[in-house]
Amino acid sequence: MDTPIAELVNRTAHTIVAIWAADCAERVLPYFREKYPDDTRPGEAIDAVREWARTGVFRMADVRKISRAAHAAAREVEGDAAARSAARAAGQAMATAHVPAHAIAAALYAATAVRDAANTPDAGTAATRERDWQYHHLLSLREEASS
């Protein structure tokens, strides 16, 4: 786990963390959509967590159903680790509506998707760049919220 990101998440308002998780997942969603353009479950999870962040309204049954659907999409992925991780990022982002710490998993799955999509010897560098973006993006969202 990336300790600076985890510490920042733990000091950030729940709705901001949810928006951040959705942003992280959305950045890698194209890896899934490219392979499965007709499967809307991960995208619906991202849309749903954004809706929760905007309204604060959700039913726990809906959070579970939508998150689990995105994870089911991930399980159905064959032979494409980046697409699988992208769907998992979306599922974890949705679960952030229930528990803010799920955002950390959403970001980790997103970075894993970037690494797997790079598919080169320096794929770790791509993941590190993504984690840097995630950290600075969360800082930016916190700053926007306080101004």
5 Cβ neighbours under 8 A, 6+ residues apart = 104, 107, 131, 134, 135, 138
CA angle 137, 142, 145 (to 5 degrees): 125
Tell me how many domains the chain contains: 1
- The tens place of each residue's pLDDT in the chain, 147 residues long, gives 568 999 999 999 999 999 999 999 999 999 999 999 999 999 999 999 999 999 988 899 999 999 999 999 999 999 999 999 999 999 999 999 999 999 999 999 999 999 999 988 888 899 999 999 999 999 999 999 988
Q: Give pTM, 2 decimals.
A: 0.95
Give residue 20's pLDDT.
Answer: 98
User: What is the reported pLDDT for 121?
Assistant: 84
* Residues of the domain holding 123: 3-146
What is the Cα–Cα distance from 97 to 81, expressed in whole angstroms?
25
Nearest residue to 111 (alpha-carbon basis) of 40, 25, 18: 25
**Residue 36: strand, helix, or coil:** coil
Residues belonging to the chain: 147
pLDDT for 2 equals 67
Residue in 122, 121, 95, 129 with CA at minimum distance from that of residue 27:
129
